[in-house]
Structure formats: structure tokens, C-alpha cells
Chains A and B, each alone.
Chain A
């Protein structure tokens, strides 16, 4: 039975409240038929998500059975956690605020509002790094070795479409698409593939040799001529892909050109040299490296951040291959791994290997404070592990 005005007024009188001090409208709250069935959940929205939902866009919750779930919008990833409150939260449709009541002169005297549900917890979100290491791992299951590959084509390996990747990776779609670009993946026959490194270098070499023989400027490499000259050696899609991976595309006077990326090319050539042995004499390496890069390009050690590690304490100084993408994704595991490779690190040396761990608005300094201990060595600040590393 719904409450009447008379009953409401009687309650006010018993409560000794003066109706003259109250707004005329009253909400009589009761529990709706679905309240208490636990079908309603509260999700606390981080900035931007409210606008996404109002625009009609969906969110997706993704999680492996043994992993903590993440929530993905179109372009961001969030950790999800249940937050408990000691209070009771009731959610009420059609309940008006004083502003709304004052604005609407025709508001009903009695508003019978049904409480749709109640809860003492809600889902809390915290922006996190997308879990993208798995992306490289999946694509490395079957790297593309080129059309002449000797690989046994009768063996079926997993191949992944864009949709496959969206369902397998705990990250938003835009973060995944961006990462595909970062790792120079390409779509072959509808599947995303990563190039086998030797094949990638073979393609790059075709291009750099052509640039050299044609005496082109490194900032104006014509697509059309590349495809004409190299099309007999490699698939044209692959030639274009390597130009896109190592250059910046632009149009001049109706023709497509590429501005070759000096740092990326030098870096790739360094990787090619370094992967052949465990460690190199630094000065010997630098000499060979400079001779190996295209004419007009300068090989510099700062191009190798996150790829190679220089040891200035050894005599002679050495350099070795250490790729950040080969290191663990979890913060603590990453630091453990780095400290087992080298006991003490300067901030300059360790930064390229922990930069990607920084959460939104977190600095490398904050990470070091949390996961490392600092000390002074020969007047330089160094960081070592907080705990013994076996």
C-alpha cells in the first residue's frame, strides 16, 4: 500500500518537523522487487569513462582465470578491485535533488521511489599499464620469415587476427593497435605477424643498399622507385612495410617519400651485430658499427637505450645485448632480474630498463625509491637491490 499525504504529514508531526521549513515534495522510499537480489553492481568511474558510456561506447572486462581482471575502455586499461565500505549504499531511480525539485514547479507532491538495489561494496578502478608483453609472445610463436622460408608450411602454428588479439590481451584496443605499430608488426593475409629479425634485416639491407647506389637523400626516399627496383627480390608489401617501419611517410608533389629514421636504423644494425656474441669490446664494436650503418648516418651509443648495456668498469670496456622487452613485466620481477645482471646501477643506466614500468604520473625516481636502495660509490649515486638476490 502506498503512503498517502495524510500519513506523511502525520509522520512529520510525530517527528516534530515543521512542514513550512521543508520543500513541498516528499519521496516515499520503498524497496523495489529486485532490491536485494544482488543483480545490480556499482562501478566507480575514473575520469573520462563517464563520457565514454554517455557516448554509447562499451567497456570490456578481461581476465585470465588466474589473473586479476582489468577493465578496458577504447584506449585505456584499469585494474579492478572490490572496495568495501562500512556504509550501506542504496541506489534510487527517479530520486530528485533539491535543485531539480526547485527547478520543476510542477513536481509531484508525493514521489513514490523504489530502491532498485543496495550494496556495501563497489568496483574501484585504477589506471594501469596495459599488459602487452603477451602480444609479442603470441606473435613470436610464428615469426614471418619471408615468402622463400624453408619453414615447414604443413605445420600449423597459431596465427592471430586483430579480433583474436583483442580477446587474448589484457589491454584496450587502441593500446594493442599502438603496440603492434611499435613492434613493427604487419598484417599478412589477415593475420598479424612479426618479422623474423634476420628477414627484417635482409629487407632493410635491400633498401639501404638501394639508397646508397641511387645516392638518394636519406630524407627523401621514393616509394615508387623502391617498389620498382626491389619488387623482383621481395614482395612489394614487405618493401613498403620496411620503409614504414624505419622511415616516416610523407607526400611531396603527389609522390610518396620516406624520411629514413637514422636512430632506428642504427639501432637495428647494432642489434644485428650484438646478437652474434655474448659480449663485445666496446671500442671494437663502435668501429664495426659505424662502418656498418648507411653512408651519412652516425652511430651513437645513446641510440641503444633499452637494447644494450655498456660496462664502463671493465678493462677493456664492454658492451652486451640486453633488450628491455626480454625482461619480466612485473615490477618486482623486473628489478630482481636487473639486479641479478648487475649488482649496482646508476640512474642513467637503469632508466631505459624501468621507464616502461612507470604508471600514469609516476617517475623513475619514485620506482627507484620503492624497489631499490641507494648508496654512493666513487662519488656517484648507485642503486642496488633491497633484498639479497640469489
Chain B
């Protein structure tokens, strides 16, 4: 039987990340993949409403405390020595208890509004 261990370093070793949920897909503007490229600016209003500016769009969202938190699992890489044997191994890197949910239709940012002649 296959056994995969999911190990945790405990609260001291576990970071807390945040989930951002967006509609649709994220695609790179330039070829060459996403790594390193910018997504956008995340602001919060004084009332705590998250505002995300992505490309030519403004997204308004809300902060949601997750009823069921997530664990982020990272597969153990081959170059790290595995004392437990040949089993596949995942490490819990972080817990996610909060998400920023952007469900509203993005508002397009209009630039260069032509002036009436």
C-alpha cells in the first residue's frame, strides 16, 4: 500500500498565509510564464474592504474567515535526504484561515477618455 506522510513542524514552524480567490483564470501577459511577473496592487479601504487593481480592472472583494482552514502542502524535493525511506512525503508549509474573495465583476479602468471636440 502506498503511504504518504504529511508532516507538520507545529505551530512554531507553520506560517499563516492568505488565500485570494479570483474569478476566471490568470494568464501571463508575456510569454515566458508567470514567475516573477506582477499581478497587481492590493489595497484595503478604511472599512477593511479589499480592493485589487489588476491590469485595467478594479476588483472589490471581502475578507472571509474560512470555516474550514486549508493546509498548504509542498511535495518534498528529491534533493532533500529522506530518512523515512522511499515513501513520498509532503510538508505542511502553511495554514490558511482567511481568504480574500473577489466575486464582483471587475470594473474596467478607463484611461485616455477622449475629450469632446
A interface residues (Cβ-Cβ under 8 A, vs B): 3, 8, 11-12, 14-17, 21-23, 25-36, 39-47, 49-50, 52-65, 69, 71, 86-99, 101, 113, 115-118, 120, 122, 167-168, 170
Contacts and interface: CB of A to CB of B under 8 A. Distances in A.
Most chain B beta-carbon neighbours within 10 Å: one of A22, A30, A49, A54:
A54
Contacts of A116: 17, 72
A50 B71 CA distance: 8
Interface of B: 1-11, 13-15, 17-26, 33-46, 48, 50-51, 53, 58, 63, 68-75, 90, 92-98, 100, 109, 111
Nearest to A29: B39
Nearest to A54: B11
Contacts of A117: 72
Given A23-B44, A40-B72, A31 B35 contact: yes
9 contacts: A15-B109, A31-B38, A36-B33, A42-B72, A44-B69, A54-B10, A62-B3, A92-B18, A115-B39
Contacts of B37: 30-31
Contacts of A99: 48
A93 B69 CA distance: 15
B73 A40 contact: yes
Given A26-B42, A30-B38, A60-B3, A95 B70 contact: no
Contacts of B25: 88, 120
A113 B43 CA distance: 12
Contact of A29 (B33, B40, B58): B40
Contacts of B9: 56
A90 B44 contact: no
Contacts of A61: 2-6
Nearest to A28: B41
A86 B50 CA distance: 21
A53 B71 contact: yes
Given A40-B73, A58-B5, A99-B48, A27 B42 contact: yes
Please provide the 6 A-B residue pairs with the shortest distance between their CB atoms, ordered closest to farther: A56-B10, A98-B48, A95-B18, A27-B42, A61-B4, A29-B39
A118 B46 CA distance: 28
A26 B73 contact: no
Given A28-B38, A35-B35, A56-B9, A89 B20 contact: yes
Most chain A beta-carbon neighbours within 10 Å: one of B14, B18, B46, B95:
B18
B3 A3 contact: no
Nearest to B73: A41
A32 B15 contact: no
Contact of B36 (A30, A39, A64, A168): A30
A54 B100 CA distance: 23
A20 B15 CA distance: 32
Contacts of B34: 31, 35-36
A30 B69 contact: no
